[in-house]
Chains A and B, each alone.
Chain A
Amino acid sequence: MALLEVRDLVKRFGETTILNGVNLRVQKGEVKVVMGRSGSGKSTLLRCINRLEEPTSGSIRLHDREVTGPSVDIRALRRSVGFVFQQFALYRHLSVLDNVTLALRHLGGLRRNEAEEKARHELARVDMTEHRHKFPAELSGGQKQRVALARALAMDPDVVFFDEPTSALDPLMCREVAILINRLFVDGVTVLCVTHDLTLARLISDRVIFLDRGRVCAEDAIENLSSGHADPRVQEFFGQEASGR
């Protein structure tokens, strides 16, 4: 049984169909990578799964429980999904430590000192302990991302979403991000990562899903996708990106 299973997911914004029947399975402990062109609906896919966007139709099951539909506890669903945003979106009025403790205290019901202990543990995982008293404005992009990850991990989510983890960073940071995600893999954290960064994809996962025209049109090892794939659009994407580097 997959931890997360998306079936025939459709998302329309008015007349435009962005996701047109997406199917996807993520096993527990897996690092799943979804690739696709800019505008192919990668962010929309993640946002539908935790109901930041309402899916138009289709089924999404987390732990074999349907999470679409009006009777679902959306806030409980969101607590079980960690989300690391493209621009990190740290709370600028809070210190690094408080960014991580906020949900623990106000959603997890921990007292301040318990929450801080848990937060320090999560910050240590991403090597940010020494920066815990700084504010977001005093951090580099890579550091902000680590804090965003610690914030996402604090509530012990079932799965962590990354939306374009390298796009807001220096290209040289790609390896750092990969190390971070690989560490999650070793710890058994389930990851769903959307990106169009082929270098990152190679570093964190053997197989990738290719999203195009609102559908998953391939799922395979990157090597197989970049050479001689039946679908020319797949070949074009992976061929171009590879030679562009």
Chain B
Amino acid sequence: MSHWASFVADLLDQLPLILTGLYQTLLLAAIVSVTGLALGIVVLHLEGSHRRLVRVIVRGYISFFVGTPLLVLLFLMYYGLPRIGLVMTPFAVALIGFTLNVAAYNAAYLGTARNALDPAELEAARAQGFSERQVFFLIMLPQVLRMSIPALTNQVILNLKDTSIAFLIQYTEFFARMQELAATNFQFFKAYAVTAAVYLALVSIIVLVARVVEKRFLLPGSYTPS
């Protein structure tokens, strides 16, 4: 019991730092979830371009970021770029790296959903006189987003969990703080069990919110893209 007492004492002692770390984690996860979705939508839009070159570049972008480990990318930016004179804060590196990576995944999910659209609806919209941009924003995107809610939710969960690798580029988020806690009292098991429990709790909240969102925005009479 005394082990627990000392652990809790240390925990409370470092609580301000841990909460700051938790804030950093949530901040990064929230921002890259938004920027990653926004850029993913831009990429989806460009993927439908009538210019072949644009489509080739977009495909290349998706393949590159889906095919490279995020950590390698972060290291490249944080440790590699200063060699050519470009120094960025850990937060900036994490923000850019995560956004590029997450957007590539989101664009791939959204692209899959787009393939499940009814081409007749898009043609009906063109026949009404809508521009390509209007067809995208008024017909395609609303349907594609709704069909992609499960995949996009998964991505938000991954974002939250993956921010834990950002400590490797000196971004002091929640996991980094918990490692410090573990290092002060050598109670690794307790420290990491608490860490896991906190992540699990946060993920559960995301899942619950996603269920509500999905119910609210489910496509009426929707087919599930297989």
Indicate if A185 sits at the interface (CB-CB under 8 A).
no
CA distance A136 to B120 in the complex (A): 14
Report yes or no: B123 in contact with A106, Cβ–Cβ below 8 A: no
Report yes or no: A92 in contact with B220, Cβ–Cβ below 8 A: yes
Report yes or no: A89 in contact with B123, Cβ–Cβ below 8 A: yes
A79 partner residues in chain B, CB cutoff 8 A: 128-129
Interface string of B129-159 (1 = CB under 8 A from A): 1110010001100110010000000000000
Report yes or no: A91 in contact with B130, Cβ–Cβ below 8 A: no
Report yes or no: B120 in contact with A89, Cβ–Cβ below 8 A: yes
CA distance A129 to B220 in the complex (A): 19
Indicate if A83 sits at the interface (CB-CB under 8 A).
yes
Report yes or no: A137 in contact with B128, Cβ–Cβ below 8 A: no
Indicate if B182 sits at the interface (CB-CB under 8 A).
no
Report yes or no: B128 in contact with A91, Cβ–Cβ below 8 A: no
Which of B124, B127, B220 has its CB near the most chain A CB atoms (within 10 A)? B127
Interface residues on B, range: 20 to 34
CA distance A50 to B131 in the complex (A): 14
Residue of A nearest to B137 (CB): A106
Q: Contacting A52 at CB < 8 Å: which of B121, B127, B134, B222?
A: B127
Q: A73-122: which residues lie under 8 A (CB-CB) from chain B?
A: 75-79, 81, 83, 85, 87, 89-93, 102-103, 106-107
Q: Contacting A92 at CB < 8 Å: which of B121, B123, B128?
A: B121
Report yes or no: B118 in contact with A75, Cβ–Cβ below 8 A: no
Chain B binding surface SS class: helix
Which of A77, A106, A138 has its CB near the most chain B CB atoms (within 10 A)? A106
Q: Contacting A85 at CB < 8 Å: which of B120, B134, B146, B220?
A: B120
Report yes or no: B129 in contact with A75, Cβ–Cβ below 8 A: yes
Report yes or no: A78 in contact with B127, Cβ–Cβ below 8 A: yes
Indicate if B221 sits at the interface (CB-CB under 8 A).
yes
Q: Contacting A103 at CB < 8 Å: which of B130, B142, B143, B220?
A: B130
Report yes or no: B127 in contact with A83, Cβ–Cβ below 8 A: yes
Indicate if A155 sits at the interface (CB-CB under 8 A).
yes
CA distance A98 to B143 in the complex (A): 14
Residue of B nearest to A92 (CB): B219
Report yes or no: B125 in contact with A91, Cβ–Cβ below 8 A: yes
Report yes or no: A136 in contact with B221, Cβ–Cβ below 8 A: yes
Q: Would you give the shortest CB distance from A186 to chain B, in whole angstroms?
A: 25
B211 partner residues in chain A, CB cutoff 8 A: none
B118 partner residues in chain A, CB cutoff 8 A: 89, 92
CA distance A138 to B221 in the complex (A): 7
Q: Would you give the shortest CB distance from B150 to chain A, in whole angstroms?
A: 17
Interface string of B209-226 (1 = CB under 8 A from A): 000000000011110000
Q: Contacting A78 at CB < 8 Å: which of B126, B139, B142?
A: B126
Q: Contacting A89 at CB < 8 Å: which of B121, B129, B219?
A: B121
| Contact A107-B221, Cβ < 8 Å, known A83-B124, A91-B139, A93-B143 | no
Report yes or no: B129 in contact with A93, Cβ–Cβ below 8 A: no
A81 partner residues in chain B, CB cutoff 8 A: 127
A237 partner residues in chain B, CB cutoff 8 A: none
Q: Would you give the shortest CB distance from A163 to chain B, in whole angstroms?
A: 10
| Contact A52-B128, Cβ < 8 Å, known A93-B146, A93-B219 | no
Q: Which A-B residue pairs are the 10 nearest by beta carbons?
A: A137-B221, A135-B220, A89-B124, A79-B129, A78-B129, A89-B120, A83-B127, A75-B129, A137-B220, A103-B128
Q: A83-B128, A103-B130 are in contact. List 17 more A-B contacts (CB 8 A).
A: A78-B128, A81-B127, A85-B124, A87-B120, A89-B118, A90-B124, A92-B143, A92-B221, A93-B139, A93-B142, A93-B220, A103-B128, A106-B134, A106-B138, A107-B128, A135-B221, A151-B128
Q: Footprint of A on B, CB under 8 Å? A: 118, 120-121, 123-131, 134, 138-139, 142-143, 146, 219-222
| 6 contacts across the A-B interface (CB closer than 8 A) | A87-B120, A92-B121, A92-B219, A93-B142, A93-B143, A106-B134
